[in-house]
Chains A and B, each alone.
Chain A
C-alpha cells in the first residue's frame, strides 16, 4: 500500500520530514521482524513442547496435526 498517495489535501499540508519517515519505516520494519521472530519462536516452542509430550507418537504425527 502506498500511504502517501492516499493522503488527502487536508493531511498533506504538513511536511513530515524525510528523516522522520525513514525512522518510522525502520521502526515498522523492526516491529515486523519482531512479530515474525515471535511467530517462529512460538512455533519452535510448541514444536518442542509437543515433542516432549508426544510420548509414543513419532514426529510425523506432529507434522500432520
Chain B
C-alpha cells in the first residue's frame, strides 16, 4: 500500500499558483494502522481559517495560507526561512473512506485521520465462450 501514497508532481507549470508567492511542501509523516491512516504535516503559521483540506476522488490536497506577522516598527534584518503558503497533494488508496476524514490543527501541525473502509470490491467478469 505504501506505493499507492505518492506525492503528485506539483512543480509543473500547470498547477502554479496565481499569486506570486512561494509555496512549500510541508514535511509530512504518514502512519498506517490496521484501521486508518494518519497524516501529520508541519505547517507553522497556518490557522484553522486559512487551512483547506479537500478530497476529490482519490486525491487529497492540503493547503495552508500563511499571513506573516510583522512586528511593529521593525524590519526583517536576518532571515533563514521564507514565509509562504503550504501545499501538498497525495493520492489516496481506494480503501480510504472519504466521508469520515477528520482534521485537527494544533501548534502548527495538521493531523488528518483517514479511516479505512475496507478494500473496494473488484468485480470479476466471466467470459462466456461463444
- Do the two shown chains form a genuine complex with each other? no
A residues adjacent to B (C-beta < 8 A)? none
